[in-house]
Amino acid sequence: MKPTPTASGSPPRIPGYPRARRFRRRSPPAEATSFIHRQWDRADRGEGVSQAVVDVARDQAVGLLWVGLRPQRRVGGLGYWIVPETRGSGLATAAVRLAVPWALEALDLQRLEAWVEPDNLPSQRVLRSAGFHEEGRLRSFLTVAGRPSDALVFSVIRPRH
């Protein structure tokens, strides 16, 4: 999978990104179905790639990992969440560790970054253990629950050959 460069400099389209497997159990409620379709559409629109985090032992989707394409060429932004009842089992750490080399290679990124609220210590630990470096603080960069929040910027850089 390689992004196709565009003349306009707009985010590249990601052709042929394989769609997640279909639900095998009972049909999910409409809200869940539309959530899943929104994730698929992100790849179709060339915005980035959303993937389910799956607890393989239980064969259950327990979270989401998202690599968005920033407006800057070959720069990606990482986001993720794990459902509350499954947190603290190392799943986010495992998912991010897997995703970093994949995203740099498959999406041809030179930089993958993440913006984290300063008091989100679990997320900062996830990033550090996946090789991210803290670069600095953007003041009032995020809006969380309608209020401005600072963001710590973390990044990982693709090794130059």
Stretch that binds ligand COA, among 3-11, 29-37, 86-94, 142-150 (CB under 6 A): 86-94
**What type of residue sits at position 127?**
L
**Residue from the set 40, 93, 108, 149 that interacts with ligand COA by CB under 6 A:** 93
Stretch that binds ligand COA, among 7-15, 16-24, 82-90, 97-105 (CB under 6 A): 82-90
The smaller minimum CB distance to ligand COA, of residues 90 and 118, is found at 90
60 binds ligand COA (CB under 6 A): no
How far are the Cα atoms of 102, 138, 158 from residue 161, in angstroms, in the given order? Answer: 17, 31, 9
92 binds ligand COA (CB under 6 A): yes
Structure tokens given for 60: 């259950």
The smaller minimum CB distance to ligand COA, of residues 40 and 81, is found at 81
**Residue from the set 39, 120, 131, 157 that interacts with ligand COA by CB under 6 A:** 120
How far are the Cα atoms of 60, 72, 76, 100 from residue 108, in angstroms, in the given order? Answer: 29, 13, 9, 11
DSSP H or E segment with residue 55: strand 48-55
Stretch that binds ligand COA, among 17-25, 29-37, 90-98, 105-113 (CB under 6 A): 90-98
**Residue from the set 114, 130, 152, 156 that interacts with ligand COA by CB under 6 A:** 114
Q: Which residues bind ligand COA (CB under 6 A)?
A: 79-82, 87-93, 114, 116, 120-123, 125-126, 129
